Amino acid sequence: MNEVLRDLLERGGGLVTREVAMQVVPPWTLQYACATGHLVRVLPEVFAAAHLLAPRPHLPTLGRLHPALGHRAVCAWAGGRAALSHLSALHAWGLRQQATGDRLHLSAPPNPTVRTRPGVHVHRRQGFVVGPPYVVRRNDLPVTPLDRTLVDSWPLLSPAERRAPVLRAVNDRHTTPERLRHTLDDTPKLTDRTALRTLLTRLAEGCRSPLEIWGHDHVFTGPGMPPFQRQVRIRVGQRTMYLDMFAERERVNIELDGATTHGDPWQREIDLRRDALLATQGILVVRFAHRRLVHEADQVRRETLAILASRAT
């Protein structure tokens, strides 16, 4: 391959556009690199080093690139007329990784010259502008804002995958249930919006994991249950802790242990020390494991009511 063209590829991380290449090499140099198999045209006017394509000929050429490189390719192709969105933006925000072969996503104004083609779906959006506040820069690529990305991605994910990015974004304090609800209100035609609204309600109530949501819906609400306070901040000495579900009158804290913590001696020791510290404040910690909460919900409910009744007297 021509040395100048090879240098351009290296500086471009494996990508080069025709516009950039034509500034330093004649057209036949680019054509020859493609003819000899060193370069592959992945999109109009966008070329990639052939060795970076996965050996999966059944996929569109763009789909054979690693998603991170594919995102750069579609942004170069769009040339400022569209931005990464939906599942591609979710990847850019670090909340769910796309895999090689996954369709890439862009959002654009209603009548751009960028159009859906194999390997990339262009979503037309009325009133959309490729600039603030509709677009932010992330890793030097145009990306839809986090709240918009999470709402747009919701119907494209399977029911089993949908909640994880939302939970992580809220738990990491990158957004809030209120901000997401505002974005949802601006998206009236979203598929399965009721399920997303329910999730945001649970998050606003303090639930922070699928297990806590399950407990709220199936165990810890209803007759006899107190109005638990969730994620209550308490400071004991130099340590700050957050209580999963705190019944203030009874001074009882319900902790829900996820499946990954079962059988971990180190985590068990941390929990015991934490529980002992809370006991110095008169707080009884009651722990329920994932297995019991899911498979013995009625028994867990009865035990909880009995403990609360004994503490109340």
| pLDDT digit string, tens, across residues 147-179 | 999 999 999 999 999 999 999 999 999 999 999
Residues in the chain where the model's pLDDT stays below 70: 259-263
How far, in Å, are 62, 79, 263 from residue 289 at the CA level?
A: 45, 52, 11
The pLDDT of residue 268 is 85
The pLDDT of residue 247 is 95
The pLDDT of residue 160 is 94
CA distance 294 to 291: 5
- The CATH class of the 211-312 domain is alpha beta
Reported pTM: 0.89
The pLDDT of residue 263 is 59
CA distance 196 to 182: 12
The pLDDT of residue 266 is 86
Q: Residue 239: what are its φ and ψ, rounded to 5°?
A: -110, 135
The pLDDT of residue 259 is 64
Identity of the residue numbered 197: R
pLDDT digit string, tens, across residues 242-252: 999 999 999 99
Instruction: Give Rg (Cα) of the chain.
Output: 26
Q: Nearest CA to 115 among 152, 78, 65, 144?
A: 78
The pLDDT of residue 262 is 52
Domain segments of the chain: what residues? 3-52, 79-204, 211-312
Residue 124 in 3-state DSSP?
strand
Share above pLDDT 70 across residues of the chain, in percent, rounded to a whole number: 98
- Pairing, β 239-247 against β 229-236: antiparallel
Which ranges of 18-107 does DSSP label H, i.e. alpha helix? 18-21, 27-35, 67-78, 86-92
Asked if 228 contacts 254 with a C-beta cutoff of 8 angstroms, the reply is: yes
